[in-house]
Amino acid sequence: MINGNLEQFLDTGWFNEATLFYKGHIYWCEAQFDEAKQTNLFFVDKWQAENEANLYYHSLLEPNSTLKWERVFEIANPSLDLIKKKFLEAQIFEGKSFWEVENEIAWLDEGVPKMKS
């Protein structure tokens, strides 16, 4: 993992609003707990971005200043271990799993959004 600690990411980062950059896209990992259903919801959204020196990312906005994104993974389950296992196995990174691209993924902080050129 570029610019990030793999052990820290696997411990808590994957579940705490992590922003991963891979081949021109941000993969935003976020989780929520549904108290009524006593279950965890975990999802990954993807959008175009630029990487700045493996430190920051800049979301690329549409001409109307909106962010075009897609949900590439979603799972709800009471078991965090099961959710983590499914996330790590899911082929969400251009048809590859987290483990297949782990050395190419950068864990970045958010920078100022930019308009697409």
Could you read off the pLDDT tens digit of each residue along the chain, which spans 117 residues? 998 889 998 888 888 888 999 999 999 999 998 898 899 999 999 999 999 999 999 999 999 999 999 999 999 999 999 999 999 999 999 999 999 999 999 999 998 999 987
Full residue range of the structural domain in which residue 111 is found: 6-115
27 has which bridge partners?
Answer: 20, 46
Q: What is the reported pLDDT for 14?
A: 83
Is residue 56 included in any domain, yes or no?
A: yes
Number of domains in the chain: 1
Contact 93, 103 (CB under 8 A): no
Q: What is the reported pLDDT for 4?
A: 85
DSSP string, 8-55: HHHHTGGGS-EEEEETTEEEEEEEEEETTTTEEEEEEEEEEEEEETTT
Q: What is the reported pLDDT for 70?
A: 98
Is residue 1 included in any domain, yes or no?
A: no
Other beta carbons within 10 Å of 91:
13
